[in-house]
Amino acid sequence: MSTRALSSILADRRVQLSFVAAFVASVPWWISGDFWMTVLTSAGIFALGGIGLNLLTGYTGQVSLGHAAFVSIGSYVAAYFGATKGWPLPLWLLASLLVGAAIGAAIGPFALRFKGNYLVVVTLALTFITAHVLRNWDGFTGGRNGKSVTAAKLWFGVDFADLNLFGSRLSRLQGLYLLTWLLVFIGALVAYNVVRSRPGRALQAIRDRDVAAEVIGVDVARYKIAVFALSSAYASLAGALDAVRVQFLTPGEAAGELLVSIRFVAIIVVGGVATISGAIIGALFLGPLPELLEQYSDTLNFTVPLIDKPLLADTATSGGLMTNAVLAEILFGVLLVVFLMFQPRGVVGMAATARRRLLAAVGRAPQHFVPEEPEE
């Protein structure tokens, strides 16, 4: 086989996707530690939610700071139907997805009346309202006492809590990792086909010029409501998986939920706005960042572990300047500013630029302008 033919095959996106899928699926066989399984599973959960936010913000231009609210809703729906009611895995996953989509569809009409900063305020209010409801709805969430999550992980005869594949018995965390990334690939495939279809082009038209899109026949109201529902479904599904990962839920404060929403925004900005792969890449970089800082806090002499020390002032007597959680929040903010100022296309845009320059350097690409970022 010639070098040119081999290069052509390797450039095929289906071949690339097959290599990535095979690599991701092989991880449990060469990484078995609970910590790294938790980190990679967390990254997959954030990737799933990030794909949903990118559909809403990147492709439709609807900025939201309420994404964490839907993650929390999905978590408690999974806990209620999966743990309390004992539903099998496909049903409580579906319930989380549908409840998230239904609430997103109910919120969607607000997007018809507000945009820009006003829409940000509305979604921010949703975060505070959701946090209040979850803390006080004892019958559904357990209130401030929390709720244990022991949802079944049996999917069509396959028990992800006790997998036996290729002669190897996998742990609960390894099985959850495979389930999470299976859903990430399915979610990415669905999103990819949506954005390349007629509805996807309509969403991008709304993002660029909503009035012009309406003039040419795009039903702006229907598409905005639909994308809110779809984005919320992704976030709720991510929350369901996260509930199984942590195994115990306690309603957080609204400020904490807001920080999770900001993390989602940072993920799509750093990875690449309006790209499906950007949400996954951003999640791998930023999703498990707080957990990594907590694990390796001993090497950071200016931080202290997060043990009843949520404020900077509380660390004064502990030999550190700040907690790892505060450091993570600072890093999210710094990365947001840096990427928005210097590389608004994110990591995906940087990679596309590097590829274009490399091909131009070896004489395989024209010297005239080539888009820096391939369309998803």
Q: Tens digits of per-residue pLDDT, 237-253? A: 999 999 999 888 888 76
Task: Assign 54 a pLDDT band (cuts: 50, 70, 90).
Answer: very high
Q: What is the extent of the structural domain holding 2?
A: 1-30
In a domain, 197, yes or no: yes
Lookup: tokens for 370 = 């080539």
- Residues ≥6 apart with Cβ < 8 Å to 241: 41, 44, 45, 48, 78, 176, 179, 180, 183
Helix, strand, coil % (nearest 5) of the chain?
Answer: 70, 5, 25
**pLDDT given at position 11:** 53
Q: Is residue 5 scored above 60 in pLDDT? A: no
Amino acid at 278: G
In a domain, 20, yes or no: yes
- Residues ≥6 apart with Cβ < 8 Å to 235: 49, 52, 53, 67, 68, 70, 71, 74, 100
Q: Calculate the CA 290 to chain-centre distance.
A: 15
Q: Looking at 252, 287, 304, which one is the last position of a domain? A: 252
In a domain, 121, yes or no: yes
Domain count, the chain: 2
Q: Looking at 252, 273, 301, which one is the last position of a domain? A: 252
Assess whether 224 and 111 both reside in one domain.
yes
In a domain, 266, yes or no: no
Assess whether 25 and 42 both reside in one domain.
no
Residue 164's φ and ψ, nearest 5 degrees, are: -130, 100
Bridge partners of 164, per DSSP, are: 169
Assess whether 106 and 168 both reside in one domain.
yes
Assess whether 118 and 243 both reside in one domain.
yes
- Measure Cα distances from 36 to 177, 300, 328, 373 in Å: 10, 19, 18, 31
How many CB atoms are closer than 10 A to CB 148?
A: 12
In a domain, 113, yes or no: yes
Assess whether 77 and 198 both reside in one domain.
yes
**pLDDT given at position 114:** 74
Assess whether 99 and 17 both reside in one domain.
no
CA–CA separation, 5 vs 18, rounded Å? 18
Q: What is the pTM of this model?
A: 0.87
Q: Is residue 207 scored above 50 in pLDDT? A: yes
Assess whether 209 and 228 both reside in one domain.
yes
Assess whether 26 and 56 both reside in one domain.
no
Q: Is residue 130 scored above 60 in pLDDT? A: yes
The percentage of the chain sitting over the pLDDT mark of 90, rounded to a whole number, equals: 38
Averaged over 317-326, what is the pLDDT?
63
In a domain, 265, yes or no: no
Assess whether 71 and 220 both reside in one domain.
yes
In a domain, 317, yes or no: no
Lookup: tokens for 41 = 């599973």
- Angle among Cα 371, 190, 265 to the nearest 5 degrees reads 65
CA–CA separation, 357 vs 337, rounded Å? 25
Bridge partners of 134, per DSSP, are: none
Assess whether 2 and 57 both reside in one domain.
no
Closest CA to 66 of 112, 145, 125: 125
Assess whether 77 and 13 both reside in one domain.
no
Assess whether 9 and 152 both reside in one domain.
no
Amino acid at 91: L
Cβ atoms of 130 and 69 within 8 Å: the answer is yes
In a domain, 339, yes or no: no
The predicted-structure confidence for 268-309, as pLDDT tens digits, reads as follows 999 999 999 999 999 999 988 888 888 877 666 655 554 443
